[in-house]
Amino acid sequence: MPDTNQVKNVEADGKSSKLELYKLIVTLVASVLIPLMIFIVGKSIEKSLKDRELALKYVEISVGILTESPVPETKNLRNWAIKNINKYAEIELNENVIKELKTESLPVAESISKSSRNHTVPSSPRDIKYVVISDSENPSLSSLKNMMRKGDVRASYHYIIGTDGSVEKIVDEENIAWHAGRSNWKGESNLNSVSIGIGLVHLSSSNGENWLNLDKDHPAIGPGYPPAQIDALVNLLATLTKRHELPLESILTKQDIAPNRRRTDLQGESMETVKDRLRTLGAR
């Protein structure tokens, strides 16, 4: 019969072996598996952070693209930017916002007067001889103003008029706005220096076709102009012609001063209607 003390010693040795095995397992987990898990989790977090950083960069680039005024050459780029914002930003753009972003530029914080360099301060008082009216090739006042905020555009008007008749002054009349471009009228070039420029929110079109693919009943699509916009134009012209003592013949369009460039600015019957209304207001 086995000695009781021997049995107890065997049991103690067994328990000790199991304890040592447990210790070995714990040591293995602590020294190998836990660091491995931390490494795997860390890599996952690192990848997540890098993906988030990349996503934010895509959003930043896309917002920069969408603050530019829409032009035919960047149509596909704007669509790409809109998709990026929908994919990577924390908010999803609805259909109305997407439709608007295709034709409008995102607003920027700074004001035109502070950020724009799109005019010249003359060294001596200007001799105003003409008022030049142009289609701005923009579908809204906000789009037009955002366009003029960009220093590389090198374009501006003294006044702009929206389709709803809203009038905004952009450049002081004593300064030279950059609206006439390559122009000539009765042997006189550089019309910018001797004229006041008015930009109409309108896309040049003789048949309703337009590069932005806006609906033909959009108020900024030609060949006609909304009555409210024409009313505002007539009132503004009456003020300008009186202030600078200008005859009706001094009211020109971009079509008049740059006939070799493809233009469909206010002309023909529409222009005659404007001048007839000015005559009723006393203009000569």
The CATH number of the domain where 243 resides is what? 3.40.80.10
Q: Which of 103, 109, 114, 202 is nearest to 151 (CA)?
A: 114
What pLDDT is recorded for position 36? Answer: 57
Return the higher-pLDDT residue of 93 and 234. Answer: 234
Mean pLDDT is highest, among 86-100, 169-183, 259-273, for: 169-183
155 neighbors 148 (Cβ within 8 angstroms): yes
Is residue 237 in a domain? Answer: yes
Residues 153 and 119 grouped into a single domain = yes
What pLDDT is recorded for position 244? Answer: 94
Residues 117 and 41 grouped into a single domain = no
Range of the domain at 21: 4-101
Domain boundary (46, 73, 101) is at: 101
Residues 126 and 33 grouped into a single domain = no
Is residue 95 in a domain? Answer: yes
Domain boundary (63, 82, 101) is at: 101
What pLDDT is recorded for position 114? Answer: 45
Residues 74 and 139 grouped into a single domain = no
258 neighbors 190 (Cβ within 8 angstroms): no
Domain boundary (38, 70, 101) is at: 101
Mean pLDDT is highest, among 119-123, 161-165, 176-180, for: 161-165
Q: Which of 63, 84, 66 is nearest to 75 (CA)?
A: 66
Residues 19 and 91 grouped into a single domain = yes
What pLDDT is recorded for position 127? Answer: 92
Residues 181 and 86 grouped into a single domain = no
**Strand bridging mode 119-120 / 130-135:** unpaired
Residues 120 and 202 grouped into a single domain = yes
Residues 12 and 60 grouped into a single domain = yes
Q: Reply yes or no on whether the pLDDT at 3 is more than 90.
A: no
Q: Which band of pLDDT confidence, cut at 50, 70 and 90, is reported for residue 111? A: very low
Residues 184 and 45 grouped into a single domain = no
Determine which of 5-19, 53-67, 217-231 has the lowest per-residue pLDDT on average: 5-19
170 neighbors 157 (Cβ within 8 angstroms): yes
Burial 188-197 (b: 16+ CB within 10 A, else e): eeebbebbbb
Determine which of 33-47, 131-145, 158-172, 265-279 has the lowest per-residue pLDDT on average: 33-47
Q: Which of 159, 161, 160, 129 is nearest to 249 (CA)?
A: 129
Is residue 106 in a domain? Answer: no
Cα angle: 195, vertex 200, 206; to 5 degrees = 115
Domain count across the chain: 2
What pLDDT is recorded for position 227? Answer: 93
Tell me the average pLDDT of the chain.
Answer: 77
Is residue 107 in a domain? Answer: no
Residues 26 and 67 grouped into a single domain = yes
Query: What are the residues whose beta carbons fall under 8 Å from the beta carbon of 228, sequence distance 6 or more?
Result: 163, 164, 165
Residues 209 and 241 grouped into a single domain = yes
What pLDDT is recorded for position 27? Answer: 65
Is residue 246 in a domain? Answer: yes
